[in-house]
Structure 1
Amino acid sequence: MMKRISMIFSVGLLVLLTSSLNLSAQNKVDLSKIKLPDGFKISIYAEGVTDARSLSSTPDGKTVFVGNRRRKNVYALTDTDGDMVADRTDTIAKGMKTPNGVAYHKGDLYVAEVNRILRYSDIMNNLDNPKYEVIYENYPTDAHHGWKFIAFGPDGKLYVPVGAPCNVCEPEKEIYASITRMDPDGANMEIYATGVRNSVGFAWDPRTEKMWFTDNGRDMLGDDIPACELNYAPEKGMNFGFPYWHQGDIPDPDFGDKFPRASFIEPKYKFEPHSAPLGLRFYQGDMFPAKYKNNIIVAQHGSWNRTLDAGHIGYQLRFVQVEGDKVVGSEIFASGWLDQESNKGWGKPVDILEMPDGSILVSDDIAGVIYRISYGK
């Protein structure tokens, strides 16, 4: 009897192990699907990072902080042996309200929830027992476009977007559809730019120290309009048109007659409509070919509401060349996350982070991984 039970247990264990292996194989990311320019290669920096969104790191690149939008946690991923693969995970925060944004600054980790900004002081010496203080808590509580990307600018201030609480509307408060900034201690919060529907990424040109940001266009005007935007914001006080004008030259059906087109700043580049450009970085390393130096790589997250006939769009990385305040070139840098036959995306790029060696990391909130893209002849 015991022998029979043992056999049943062994067979059951074998089935369980086989099922687990098959499940793992089915869920494993197939990197061969990703198309890159000659000389580039892609690998996995971290896997099993559910809903991986915004990225930031310590200056040495050994620890990468990851925010997320749905899972309420913030993680620190550490590469302890220098092989460019994370092998240690610390959970910095649990139970947060959409902690999408993370920014490491002078030893402290900043985390953005929907309505407040947290600071974890001296984070690297407190990974085992992280504690935060609330430095600002007066942002709106609306969940619609409430998730936030954050970053420190060359002026030492923390920049924080506030999305529109709707697809398209005239918000009652000026704080909506804006990009704000504040001191590192949360003081002196002010509005930097307005008319910004939903920015989930911005960066500063290392040559000019001027801001560029992505903005997601409104929905429900059709498959092919309006374009998503890449905008240039060199100074405080600029208005980029939402909700009155879209992509710089399309008046909104409900609000476009309230102000003339010339009242607003037009985008410097128009992405594919509904392609959802999110994180962007100016590449500053020496690993990639020279043409990438001081130019932009953008994560296009991918569409959600285009019709089946039109097909989904985005699910890629785009390279954008800039000179001063102008875009002078653009091309697809990485693609393959969208399966063309099924019209389904198996992965969605979110944010980009340059590492000290010149490679870049790319988060994917659908596949649950962080990729590393490197170059070598």
Structure 2
Amino acid sequence: MPNPQRDSHTVNVVLPAPLTATPENIGRLKLPAGFHIAKFVEELDSPRVVVVSEAGNIYVSSRDAGTITMIDGRGKKKKVLELENVHGMVIHAGILYYVTIKQVYAAPLNPDGTLGASKLLITDLPDAGQHVDRTLAVGPDNKLYVSVGSTCNTCEERNHINSTMQRYNLDGSGRETFATGLRNTIGFNFKPGTKDLYGWDDGVDWMGDQEQREELNEIEQGKEYGWPYILGNGLKNLYLTPPHGATLDQWAAKTTLPVLTWNAHASGMQLIFLKGTGLPSDFDGDALASMHGSWGANPPSGYQVVRIHFEGSVAKTITPFVDGFLMQTQGGSGWARFARPFGLAQMADGSVLLGDEQNGILYRITYSR
């Protein structure tokens, strides 16, 4: 971490030019042997979070449009909700839970896949500031988990709910702070068959091309994850002083470090765990995370999907799974992209859905021996 009294560093702002997803561009994508990617649904409006119901219906949120769209097995689209800033979603026991900046709602899924009457569960999530993308999940404890990002890049929050993981009863009651020091954990999920919660925390900006590395955390109740005082794998933020008279060394001692790190500024979004159906056996229990892409790094990072490989309950490696949305070009910033990956979900047959927010495309990734 640069010392504010003696060091300086350079920040590169690089904005890759947006391109269309032509067959030629898609043909350049790199996936592991046996995997194939193709367009599944087009003309979506800035698709964000993707979830799939037991009936096989796909639900896609769009914060920009303020909508949730249902897509049936034939790819037919139907708008099922309009609500400003709707973003995170999770389906549990036939109910779709969804979140805006300050509210959480629940709506039963009708037999035709549309939504029944919504019920407002939570009304008092704090102001978002810089990070408006609320996300949620239901844990094996039958509790509702809501990620509340920080309002800033690095600052001392005035509201103690910001930069935390919150936990509620399914009816919205019984709020408690589950974990703290999480800058912006958009992608998080429980490893199936366990109580283990993993989340991808996006690192801070303005520290240069290589810092701060992104964090994969195992998020446990009562743990502190460092932000804004301890970053990445233990960097001390010399620009801030911890509260209550604590030193940076003392804050570092109580900080839980990430289990793995990844390229700085990649901007992790949705994170899912895979079931082995239709996939190679060594993918069963692994996770995928979508990387939305950088703006403050040269060369740019992200614009891909990564695989988090587990051995038993231990996350061992992070490697590219879908790569090639980013490419070098002549002129401009020297870089271009034909996707900003976001949504991830797995279908019953094992195929994986990948949403591209930039071009409004939902891709389907399949495997054949």
Query: Under TM normalisation by the shorter chain, which class is it?
Result: 0.7 to 0.9
Partner of 2:286: 295
Q: 2:185 aligns with which of 184, 190, 199?
A: 199
Tell me by how many angstroms 1:205 deviates.
Answer: 1.6
SS at match of 1:150: strand
Q: Which of residues 237, 244, 247 in structure 2 aligns to 1:252?
A: 237
Q: CA deviation at 1:124?
A: 4.1
Tell me which residue corresponds to 1:149.
135
* Compared CA separation, residues 283 and 171, structure 1 to 2 (3 A): same
**Alpha-carbon distance, 1:324 to partner:** 5.0
1:322 is displaced (CA, Å) by 2.1
Give, in whole Å, the separation in 1 of the partners of 2:237 and 2:20.
45
Mapped to 2, the partners of 1:209 and 1:374 lie a distance apart of 29
Given the superposition, is the C-alpha separation of residues 137 and 183 from structure 1 closer, same or farther in structure 2, using an over 3 Å criterion?
A: same
Q: Given the alignment, which residue of 199, 214, 239 partners 2:224?
A: 239
- Aligned equivalent of 1:364: 356
Write the mapping of 1:93-108 to structure 2, written as runs, cut at 5 A. Answer: 93-94=81-82, 96-108=83-95
Q: CA deviation at 1:208?
A: 2.7
RMSD between superposed Cα atoms in Å? 1.9
Q: How does 1:117-156 map to 2 (within 5 A)?
A: 117-125=104-112, 127=114, 130-156=116-142
Partner of 1:74: 68
> Structure 2 residue aligned with 1:285, among 263, 271, 276?
276
Q: Give, in angstroms, the shift of residue 139 of structure 1.
A: 0.2
User: Which residue is equivalent to 1:217?
Assistant: 203
SS at match of 1:41: strand
**Counterpart AA for 1:33:** R
Say which of 32, 35, 44 aligns to 1:40: 35
Change (3 A) 1:285 1:135: same
With over 3 angstroms needed to count, the CA separation of the structure-2 counterparts of 1:122 and 1:41, relative to structure 1, is: closer
- Residue 125 of structure 1 and its aligned partner are, at CA, apart by 4.8
How many positions carry a matched residue from both structures?
A: 340
1:281-301 per-residue CA deviation (whole Å, 9 max, x = no partner) reads 121122121211111111111
Distance 1:376 1:366 in 2: 28
Conserved 8 A contact 2:129-2:150: no
Unpaired stretches in structure 2, ≥5 consecutive residues: 1-18
Matched residues in 1 for 2:21 and 2:233: separation?
Answer: 42
Find the counterpart in structure 2 of residue 158 from structure 1.
144
Match of 1:59, SS state, is coil
Q: TM-score, normalised by structure 2?
A: 0.87
TM-score norm. by structure 1 comes to 0.85
Aligned amino acid, residue 116 of structure 1: Q
**How far, CA to CA, are the matches of 1:248 and 1:325 in structure 2?**
21
Q: Output the CA distance in 2 between the equivalents of 1:264 and 1:26.
A: 43
CA contact (8 A) 2:307 2:320 kept: yes
- 1:91 is matched with 79
How far apart are residue 337 of structure 1 and its match? 0.8
Whole-angstrom CA distance in 2 between matches of 1:196 and 1:311: 26
Question: Which gives a bigger RCO, structure 1 or 2 (Cα 8 Å, sep 6+)?
Answer: 2
Given that 1:232 and 1:325 are in contact with CA atoms closer than 8 Å, whether structure 2 keeps it comes out as: no
**How far does the alpha carbon of each residue in 1:68-89 deviate from its partner, in whole angstroms, 9 at most, with x for none?**
2212111111124xxxxx1x22
Aligned equivalent of 1:327 = 315
Give aligned-pair identity as a percent. 27
Letter paired with 1:103: V
Aligned-residue offset at 1:263:
1.5
Tell me the equivalent position of 2:339. 347
Name the amino acid aligned to 2:229: Y
Q: 1:26 to 1:117 in 2, by over 3 A?
A: closer
Moved more, 149-158 or 354-363: 149-158
Higher helix share: 1
8 Å CA contact retained: 1:107, 1:124: no
Aligned residue identity for 1:346: F
SS at match of 1:52: coil
Rounded to whole Å, the distance in 2 between the matches of 1:193 and 1:299 is 23
Deviation for aligned residue 1:126: 6.9
